[in-house]
Each structure stands twice: as C-alpha cells, then as structure tokens.
Structure 1
Amino acid sequence: MRFAPPVRRTPRETIVPMINVVFLLLIFFLMTAQIAPPDPFDMDLPQASEQADLDGPAVLWLAADGTPALDGVTGEAVWSALAALGPDVALSIRADQALPGVELARVMQRLSGLGLRDVQLAVQP
C-alpha cells in the first residue's frame, strides 16, 4: 500500500521574540521614567490668563489653611528647610486658590526674610 507523501506545512511564525521585545521595552521605560511623588495637598491653583514656565527646583506647597509643605516636610519645619536652601535657589510656590491673600503676603514676607530672591507663583490658565 502506498501512502501519499505528507504535506509539508510551513512553520508558524512564533510571537515569542515579539513578546520579549515588548517586555524589554516595558522594563526600559520603567527604569528610565521619573516617578513623581504625590502632591502633599489637594488643591486648585489660581486662575490666570497666561501660564509661565516654572524653573524652580524647590516647590513650596501652601494649603488653603496656610499649612506649608516642602519635599515631604510639613509645618514649621519647612521654614528651616527653606533657610537651608540658600538665597540663590529659585523657589516655586503652589498655593491653593482658597488661600487668603493676606496669608500669601505673610509667606512672601517670611521668604524675603530668609533671603530668597527668586520666587514664582504657579497658576493654571
């Protein structure tokens, strides 16, 4: 009895190399991404007609009740941390729009007393 020769099938394309590349890209992006810490307060920034680019490496957060935060430090310890920054450091202030203007003026006066000269206020357009 003669059998017909078996039909030769072309091998399937394997997707394993593509999966490997996807996982390598995922690992690469996770390793190179900068994961930002969460904001210390929930806040709404004040409204403005234009938004300037903030270039300050230090960010002072001010809650609606006037509580300050800087790099994970909150309360009165913030002022000693700000004094340690030095006068040449650019400081960005992210203040809640519900913060009274009088309180913001007090903070600005205290920053001036610490010798900080380059202070910017963050707004949203």
Structure 2
Amino acid sequence: MKAERPRREPTIALINIVFLMLIFFMAAATLAPPLDGALKLVRTADLEGRAPTDALVVHADGRLAYRGAAVADAAAYMAQVGPEEIVRIVPDAALPAPDLIRLGEALRRAGARRVVMVTERGLP
C-alpha cells in the first residue's frame, strides 16, 4: 500500500497574485496626470459666495481691502487687526505670484505667524 501524500494548498500562487496586486496599486498611486497648461488655480471673480469677513482681499492691481475698506499695506492691516495667529488672504487670480509672495512676507514681518490663502474651493 502506498502512503497517500497530503495535498498541498496553492499558497505560493496566492502570494504571487497578492504581491503583483500590491505592485500594481503602488505604481498606479504614484502616477499622476500632468497639469493642463490652461489650468487656472485661483478664481475669485465669479464667486457666488463672499470672502470670509476676517480675510484680507488682494485685488489684481495690488490694492488691499479689509471688510470693504481700503488698507494701505500689510503693516497697516496688522495694526488694525492686532497680532494674529493665522492671517487669511483672498487673492485675485490675476495678481502676479511675486506680488502675492511679497505680501505674505510683509504680513509675516508685521506679526502674522501663519499666512493662509483662501481659494474658491475653500470658501463656504
């Protein structure tokens, strides 16, 4: 009489399939489509909502406004609101990026600990 061998389970095949699925999902998660060249990241002109009342609005020509009133510069804004942990700014999409960066730096120098840009998606 022959001794009957126990039948082996196909665990190696299952491990190979799981490993291949893991590699596939890792590769799929790291690939991202390129950004469209015509993509506009910030749009405030056609908003249906309003900017938060505590936000500093920056127009395309660099004018600053807070609660509907004109503000001279970042230091004047910080003097008006006092020391703030977080300063929110709502920039116009046509505002040049270097101007926006300079404004953020000026707000930090004037006492803001953190400067946050509010975009169309972030408004309620």
The two structures have a TM-score, normalised by structure 2, of 0.49
